[in-house]
Structure 1
Amino acid sequence: MSDHNSFSTEDRRRFLLASLAAGFALTVRPVTASTIVTDSAGLSVGPVFIPSANGDIPAYQAHPANAGAPLPTVLVIQEIFGVHEHIQDVCRRLAKLGYLAIAPDLFARQGDPRQYNDIPTLQKELVAKVPDAQVLADLDAALQWAARNGGDPARVAITGFCWGGRITWLYAAHNPHLKAAVAWYGRLVGQPSTNMPRHPLDVAAELKAPVLGLYGGRDQGIGLDTVQAMQTALKRAEVANKIIVYEDAGHAFNADYRPSYHAAAARDGWMEMLGWFRRHGV
């Protein structure tokens, strides 16, 4: 007889899907009036489950409805706040441009970041417990899912924000099939740990895909000295790379739902990202 307190597969799926519900993480409420909302007209959007070696993980996906030919695919990598409304909106924006955009919940095994009330606790109790190796494997699984569900495996890119910006650099050094990567204000240096043994500066010479880095000149958490160190290290890379620094922007300048939003830098960064994708065949 099964334990009445056991967590069934269906219960687990319902629990995981809660992390993709509409709305914003508690840590970033209230949202600002500048929040961009992209509708889903002409799109197929919603949650899916991605099979992986360590169990299914939920993801939010968006792509043009009734797409014929396989679509170029973009992995969208979350901030520390999870796959909340802003990340889902980024997916819809890309889908409106003809991409299959997919944002896997990369914290799913460790917890739901949307339920934390303050950033320090979220960082300590959840984010720090997520191993880079697990994340990279889950991103591989997400691209495999995309290839089976309308994505073109020959045209794949990645973009990520803050925590996801750091992951974007790491994934560009991990996957030789990636065509392009755009990292938004991702941390470049750090102390090695069991879960985070290497950082972007450590893998700069190992990049396998062209990377565009977008940074704020007034970012209080990512010093310009580390950006300059990365630019020096990137001279050893064998693939195209570029870092743009928006002098008047701070951290999270693309986060239109937060006071950190810098509209001019966000708009220019978005166009630079799209141009980088096109230039490298995605």
Structure 2
Amino acid sequence: MSCPDCFSGSVKEGKPRGEIITLHGLQTYATGPADGRTPEATIVILPDAFGWEFVNNRLLADHYADRGDYKVYLPEFMAGKAAPEYMIDTMRDLINGSVFAKPFHFARALAGFVPFILTNRIPKSHPRVTAFFEALRKAEGADARIAAAGFCWGGKHVLLLSHNVTVDIDGKPTPLINVGFTGHPSFMEVPADIADTMTVPVAFALGELDGSLPADKVAEIRKIVEAKPAPITGEVVVYKGAGHGFCVRADSTLNDVASQAAAAEEQCIAWFNKHFGL
């Protein structure tokens, strides 16, 4: 389930350089290699609870585009009900602030959380995600190289997309994605989300201190996904001292956390490059 750390963290500084387009019915932040290289594959980011407009998620899309030859899309999957950015400060005040102010911060947190979860609980939001990927696969074709990278809320959707989900192209069932990456997924069910259901290779970036995935669950995830036969063998990397949300909302002023977030970026791109032969 969702946890306080899903709404905690740090807002990064920087100006995203992509453009806003409408893609398969959704507003989408789109970006590509800064030096003008022709993209050789596509990454679709399924964001954390703060959604497609959150600057951290857009900067991450830019980083992915620059680190590989990728076109990167960050669609509006949340129907206008992403968690508001103010919740980052609100959660900090709720946990660390004055006891007398806690009722106010609690009410403010609920005001941000309730619309998000009512609109974007997984069973309700996943049809929107699937529809986008079906349209993308049909438009790009069976031979297109499509990857999905999901974080927190979006991580669960990547796992569901890896469950032998196909669309018919010229009479042939074609997977919606070729490869997946998930950073500290929320709402994850172990082993149900990764056992016999997973038919696409997925890499995991997990925080050692992620309260939603204790050590025994991480060990179980590793045992299952790394034992899958090629070409769907997965990968699990545990980042020491990192908590939930570190891939997206790490505090850039803290060297250890910032370096772990950068390492997770490298892990993701290396994973996609490996499977696409780039």
Note whether the superposition's TM-score is higher than 0.5. yes
**Count of aligned residue pairs for this structure pair:** 235
CA deviations on 1:171-224 (whole Å, 9 max, x unpaired) are 2225324221111011364xxxxxxxxx46313121121111011111233322
Amino acid at match of 1:106: F
Alignment partner, residue 76 of structure 1: 45
Alignment partner, residue 97 of structure 2: none
Cα gap change, 1:165/1:247 in structure 2, threshold over 3 Å: closer, same or farther? same
Specify the SS of the correspondent of 1:245.
strand
Alignment partner, residue 123 of structure 1: 113
Pairing 1:252–2:222 present: no
Alignment partner, residue 93 of structure 1: 63
1:107-186 maps to which residues of 2 (within 5 A)?
A: 107-108=78-79, 111-114=81-84, 117=87, 118=90, 120-121=109-110, 122-143=112-133, 146=136, 154-175=144-165, 176-186=175-185
CA distance in 1, matches of 2:140, 2:38: 8
Contact 1:36 1:256 in 2 (8 A): no
The counterpart of 1:231, out of the listed 198, 222, 227, is 222
**Shift in Å at residue 78 of structure 1?**
0.9
Question: Relative to structure 2, which stretch is displaced further, 81-90 or 167-176?
Answer: 167-176
CA distance in 2, matches of 1:174, 1:48: 29
**Shift in Å at residue 65 of structure 1?**
7.6
Alignment partner, residue 106 of structure 1: 77
CA distance in 2, matches of 1:129, 1:108: 7
Cα gap change, 1:153/1:281 in structure 2, threshold over 3 Å: closer, same or farther? same
Specify the SS of the correspondent of 1:170.
helix
Specify the SS of the correspondent of 2:50.
coil
Contact 1:50 1:145 in 2 (8 A): no
Contact 1:38 1:93 in 2 (8 A): no
Contact 1:253 1:265 in 2 (8 A): yes
Which one scores higher on RCO, CA 8 angstroms, separation ≥ 6?
A: 2
Alignment partner, residue 269 of structure 1: 264
1:188-227 maps to which residues of 2 (within 5 A)?
A: 189=188, 199=189, 201-204=191-194, 205-227=196-218
Normalization by structure 2: what TM-score?
A: 0.70
**Shift in Å at residue 100 of structure 1?**
1.1
CA distance in 1, matches of 2:223, 2:205: 16
CA distance in 2, matches of 1:39, 1:140: 26
Contact 1:39 1:92 in 2 (8 A): yes
Cα gap change, 1:99/1:75 in structure 2, threshold over 3 Å: closer, same or farther? same
Cα gap change, 1:81/1:151 in structure 2, threshold over 3 Å: closer, same or farther? farther
Specify the SS of the correspondent of 1:254.
helix
Ranges in structure 1 where 5+ consecutive residues have no aligned partner: 1-26, 190-198
- Root-mean-square deviation (Å): 3.4
Specify the SS of the correspondent of 2:159.
helix
Contact 2:119 2:125 in 1 (8 A): no
1:38-53 maps to which residues of 2 (within 5 A)?
A: 40=17, 45-51=18-24
CA distance in 2, matches of 1:99, 1:142: 18
Greater helix share, 1 or 2? 2
Ranges in structure 2 where 5+ consecutive residues have no aligned partner: 1-6, 92-108, 166-174
Cα gap change, 1:38/1:256 in structure 2, threshold over 3 Å: closer, same or farther? farther
Amino acid at match of 2:14: V
Amino acid at match of 1:79: D
Question: Relative to structure 2, which stretch is displaced further, 130-139 or 238-247?
Answer: 130-139
CA deviations on 1:75-124 (whole Å, 9 max, x unpaired) are 10111111111111111122223211111111116x24336645652333
Percent of paired sites with the same residue = 18
Cα gap change, 1:68/1:231 in structure 2, threshold over 3 Å: closer, same or farther? closer
Specify the SS of the correspondent of 2:182.
strand
**Shift in Å at residue 232 of structure 1?**
3.5
Contact 2:164 2:200 in 1 (8 A): no
Normalization by structure 1: what TM-score?
A: 0.69
Specify the SS of the correspondent of 1:48.
strand
Amino acid at match of 1:63: G
